[in-house]
């Protein structure tokens, strides 16, 4: 059974995604960016997922592949877009758009309920 703490709140995912976008755009190495964001993350489940992703990226996996191995943190849409961003060399732009999409989705759900 998936417990509440074993799911990433969409707003936390949006913040992580936006911060990663800024770091990638600034030219920080991906492994270093993931390390920093993992240490700063307050949600324990997301922090563990980020550190697992960092370990796999450090071992040579692509970001999308590493994120696919954390499906309870990063869904198929998220990882497919990250894959497209990596392939096209526009990861920072894709992450920024993805963060915007998640933020709009959170706002819409808030407005509806």
Q: Which residue ranges make up each domain of the chain? A: 4-112
Dump the DSSP string for 69-82: T-TTTS-HHHHHHH
Question: Model-level pTM?
Answer: 0.91
- Spatial separation of the C-alpha atoms in residues 60 and 67, rounded to whole Å: 13
Say if CB 58 and CB 31 are below 8 A apart: yes
CA-based end-to-end distance of the chain: 26
Tell me, which fold does domain 4-112 have in CATH?
Receptor-associated Protein (1.20.81)
Mark out the alpha helices in the chain (DSSP H runs). Answer: 10-25, 30-40, 44-58, 63-68, 76-88, 91-112
Q: What does the alpha-carbon distance between residue 17 and residue 94 come to, in Å, rounded to a whole number?
A: 10
Pick from 108, 84, 103: which is nearest to 15 by CA?
Answer: 103
Count of C-beta atoms within a 10 Å radius of residue 9: 13
Mean pLDDT, 10 residues at a time, the chain of 113 residues: 68 97 97 98 96 98 98 96 98 97 93 86
pLDDT of residue 7: 82
């Amino acid at each position: 059974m998936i417990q509440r703490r074993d799911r990433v709140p969409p707003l936390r995912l949006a913040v992580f995604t936006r911060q990663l976008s800024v770091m990638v755009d600034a030219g920080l190495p991906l492994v270093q960016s993931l390390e920093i964001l993992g240490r700063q993350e307050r949600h324990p489940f997301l922090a563990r997922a980020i550190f697992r992703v960092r370990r796999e990226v450090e071992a040579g996996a692509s970001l999308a592949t590493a994120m696919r191995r954390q499906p309870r943190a990063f869904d198929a849409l998220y990882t497919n877009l990250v894959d497209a961003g990596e392939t096209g060399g526009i990861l920072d732009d894709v992450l920024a758009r993805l963060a915007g999409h998640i933020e709009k989705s959170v706002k819409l759900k808030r407005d509806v309920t």
